Chain A
Amino acid sequence: MTNTDVIEIDPVEQDEAMETIPFCNVRLPEGLLGFEHMKDYLLIAKPAEAPFRWLQVKNNPSLAFVVIDPACFMPDYQPDIPQSDVDFLGLFSPDDAAVYVIVTVSGVRRATVNLKGPIVINRSTGLAKQVVIANASQYSVQHPLPVNGNAD
């Protein structure tokens, strides 16, 4: 796998070969809610699975979370990140941040995403946090993903 320290992973450009699957290091000093002890991850983009990515637990690689960039299905998603989190992550402009939401997969035809608690990553440093957005009441913690085969 190739280590790209900046999160500009474009899986479309990559070969199918396992050796060229891009990944980068992501560190959550506060872990995830309910998993505060899991702080170090690899964000992995397997081309065949785009736009989904894996947030793999570094010291227990068999464990992972499926994540997705919410812009893939909800371009008008506007998470209101509290200033204390903006400061914590060292963000100065919208381009500094990569936003991912955690996917709960319950079969090939059903998946939901948590829009109340996105993972916000500083693109240059890989420092990240699961943020409880200030406008959490506007969004669902189980928002259905528009997957193939479902009537919408």
Chain B
Amino acid sequence: MLILSRKSGESIVIDGRIHVKVMRVDGETVKIGIEAPYDVPVHRREVYEEIQRSNQGALTRQSAELPKLPLAAAAKPKRVTVKSL
């Protein structure tokens, strides 16, 4: 892990195209600004960890008994639209 010290207002550049700026330091909380190309996903680490835990809890055996959805919901669904396309 690369460790750098920055003051409020100072920045770091990653891969020449991702800019991380310390906006403000307020006690224990650091407000961070991130400028990245549109195609680079940026998330709080907790999101990845949440999804990982959710996957782990979801893994099952095929003998599992499944819930019954209300009848209306079991009708043939309209296709979900993918927002970015």
**Which A residues are within 8 Å of any B CB, using their own CB?**
10, 12, 32-35, 49-52, 54, 56, 61-66, 69-73, 75, 77-87, 91-97, 99, 102-105, 107-111, 114, 116-117, 120, 130, 132, 134-136, 141-142, 145-149
Interface residues on B, range: 35 or more
Q: Kindly list 14 other residue pairs between chains A and B, CB separation below 8 angstroms, not including A65-B58, A72-B74, A79-B83.
A: A12-B76, A33-B51, A75-B77, A77-B80, A80-B84, A81-B85, A82-B40, A82-B41, A91-B82, A104-B57, A108-B65, A132-B43, A141-B51, A141-B54
Q: Is A65 in contact with B47, judged by CB distance below 8 angstroms?
A: no
Tell me, rounded to whole Å, the shortest Cβ–Cβ distance linking A68 to chain B: 8
Can you report 8 A-B residue pairs in the complex whose CB atoms are below 8 A from each other?
A: A51-B77, A56-B62, A64-B62, A66-B58, A73-B73, A108-B65, A114-B51, A134-B41
Chain B's interface: helix, strand, loop or mixed, by majority?
loop
The answer to the question of B6 belonging to the interface, with a C-beta cut-off of 8 Å to chain A, is no
Distance of A10 Cα from B77 Cα, bound (Å): 11
CB of B27 closer than 8 Å to a CB of A: no
Contact A148 B67 (CB under 8 A): yes
Q: B50 to chain A: which residues have CB within 8 Å?
A: 116, 141
Q: Is the CB of A117 within 8 A of B54?
A: yes
Measured CB to CB, the closest approach of chain A to B76, in angstroms, equals 7
